[in-house]
Amino acid sequence: MKLQKKLFALGTTLILTSTLYAQDGASLFSAKCAACHQTSRPNDMSTLVAPPVMGVMRHVKMRYTTKEEAVKFISEYALNPQVAKSVCMPQKIKRFGLMPSQKGNVSKEELQTIAAWMYDNYPPKGFQGMGRGQGKGKGKGCQIN
């Protein structure tokens, strides 16, 4: 009987902890995405293994104008990435390769939490991309307000 109570308490604690953890997009991003996607402008571009999140979100928001559309895209793309669906510029895919599927690494619910957090926080107001020849910011990058 005591073992059952301990197992129940342990199970309840794990469920509550994972539920609280899953609600925090920043913590989930840090645990599941930050190993590849930096959250700040890199000092040394040669050390990057994937595009920084601010650039990714800039392109996501250029293509998907609502939070709902952006969250849906990110949640689906992370599990089933395809060149045809990518929002990255071709030279980024050439440099970094296609993002590997995150199936088994992150759940759809976690991705939705992460994607909503990314949408709300990136790119920062006034961010200017580093790309060239993209619309109005030709040669200087485009700005997202």
pLDDT digit string, tens, across residues 89-107 = 899 999 999 999 999 999 9
Total residues belonging to the chain: 145
- Dihedrals phi, psi of 78, to nearest 5 degrees: -60, -30
Say how far apart CA 48 and CA 39 lie, in whole Å: 12
Q: What angle do CA 102, 58, 138 make, to 5 degrees?
A: 135
The DSSP line for 10-70 is HHHHHHHHHHHHHT-HHHHHHHHTTTTS-SS--S-GGG-SS--HHHHHHHHHHH--SHHHH
Q: What confidence tens digit (pLDDT) does each residue in 4-48 have? A: 655 555 555 455 544 454 469 999 999 999 999 999 888 888 889
pTM, to two decimals: 0.72
User: In the chain, where are the structural domains located?
Assistant: 2-37+48-124
pLDDT digits (tens, 9 = 90+) for 40-96: 888 888 889 999 999 999 999 999 999 999 999 999 999 999 999 999 889 999 999
